[in-house]
A and B are shown apart, each in its own frame.
Chain A
Amino acid sequence: MMNIIFAAMIIFSVVCGIFNGKSAEVSDAAINSCVEAVELFLYLIGGMCMWGGLMKVAEKSHLTDKLSAAFRPFARLIFKNLDLNGKAFHAICLNVTANILGLGNAATPLGIEAMKALESEEKANGTATRNMIVFSVLNTASITLLPTTAASLRSKHGSAAPMEIFPCVVITSVAALAAGLISAIALDGISKIGHKNEKRSKEET
């Protein structure tokens, strides 16, 4: 996927640059962008380490366990027949917590763990189960409460109140997640009805 996008962007820019007479700018960008990338990296890595450190403290003090207890009712609502004492659910809780705190990079390893546990608990057998799809949507439409990355870049660029976007981020996150989950659960229902009808018509013939 990324291979195609990367190649397409570069080829498109080279062609566009020639047609727009901006080859000099494209050349400059090609040479200088890597320095920009390292500058951006230096800006981000501090925050990543800081939040990673705090996350670890929260984990060791079992604060994250408390959070997973709080997440239980919501989990019952969106997951179907999930073992709430199982390994998958514990990983899901930590993953959701990291997402809520805006720690995308801390969330990913936990999410992978949860996905693998779901696969074996639900015997997925090559096809995504309902809970796996719901969980994948939960992560692609991450519920963010603390937009830490956006806030630190906003302050770098001279925002008067970097965290003022907080209420908008919460509402937008919730709306996007709701739309995604409704779609995931509804489409699962539709595909199941489709399956039943197929079976029925096969039995009739």
Chain B
Amino acid sequence: MTEFTNLLIPIFIGIIILYGLFRRVKVFDEFIEGAKENLVVGIGILPSLIAMITAIGMFKASGGMDIIAQLLKPLTDFLGFPGECLPLAVMRPVSGSGALAVYESILENVHPDSFAGRVASVILGSTETTFYTLAVYYGATNVKNTRHSLVSSLTADFTGFVFSALTVRLILR
């Protein structure tokens, strides 16, 4: 399995470039163009990254995260969910940059190949920032009543947290 997943990215990149050449796309020029666009997007998220990492850094240093994790521990133990990943589950639906910052701090404390490290990675890889996405998407329209968008999205998030622990336990030993 690992062998296969290690091949995934190189093959994927190879196919894109090869198909581009086949279709006579100026692969280098277009690559630069796309990279430039994302550079602008990236610089756009830096201020919020700084704001959130500062808030999270203060929060972590104050011992506040431990208090919340302690409160939720009975529920997560029942679901077989690692306590270290709890702050990530709390942050994930709220903020993408915040979740990244929490993920980074989890990997500083536990090894990425440990159970908690893997579960955190699966959470980061498989879920999205619900509140941000809904705010941005509906914010661009004139919709005032989003009906059950939030409830359904949070249902998906919660299912994702339960499954992240479940799949890591069953597949990666």
Contact = CB atoms under 8 A, between A and B. Distances in A.
Interface of A: 1-2, 5-6, 9-10, 12-17, 20, 22, 25-26, 28-30, 32-34, 36-38, 40-41, 44-45, 48-63, 102, 104-106, 108-109, 111-112, 115-116, 119, 124, 126-128, 132-133, 136-137, 139-142, 144, 146-151, 153-154, 156-173, 175-181, 183-184, 187-188, 191
A127 B39 contact: no
Contact of B58 (A10, A44, A132): A10
Interface in B130-151: 130-138, 140-149, 151
A141 B157 contact: yes
Contacts of B25: 57, 60-61
A56 B22 CA distance: 15
Contact of B144 (A48, A126, A177): A126
Interface string B30-42: 1111111111011
Given A5-B94, A128-B138, A172-B160, A165 B32 contact: no
Contacts of A175: 159-160, 163
A36 B52 CA distance: 11
B141 A124 contact: yes
A33 B41 contact: no
20 contacts: A9-B64, A10-B58, A15-B62, A37-B50, A38-B50, A51-B38, A52-B41, A53-B30, A55-B34, A57-B17, A58-B16, A102-B125, A104-B96, A128-B138, A139-B133, A140-B128, A150-B122, A157-B107, A158-B112, A176-B160
A142 B53 CA distance: 24
A191 B149 CA distance: 13
Interface of B: 1-2, 5-6, 8-9, 12-13, 16-17, 19-20, 22-23, 25, 27, 30-39, 41-43, 45-46, 48-64, 67, 93-96, 100-101, 103-104, 107-108, 111-113, 117-118, 121-138, 140-149, 151-153, 155-160, 163-164, 167-168, 171-172
B5 A160 contact: no
A33 B101 CA distance: 10
B62 A105 contact: no
A21 to B, nearest CB: 9
A163 B8 contact: yes
Contacts of B160: 141, 172-173, 175-176
A137 B121 CA distance: 21
Contacts of A34: 50, 53-54
A172 to B, nearest CB: 4
A59 B17 CA distance: 11
B50 A20 contact: no
A104 B128 contact: yes
B49 to A, nearest CB: 5
A191 B148 contact: yes
Contact of B156 (A17, A104, A141): A141
A163 B57 contact: no
B111 A158 contact: yes
A71 B168 CA distance: 28
B67 to A, nearest CB: 7
Nearest to A24: B61
A37 B171 contact: no
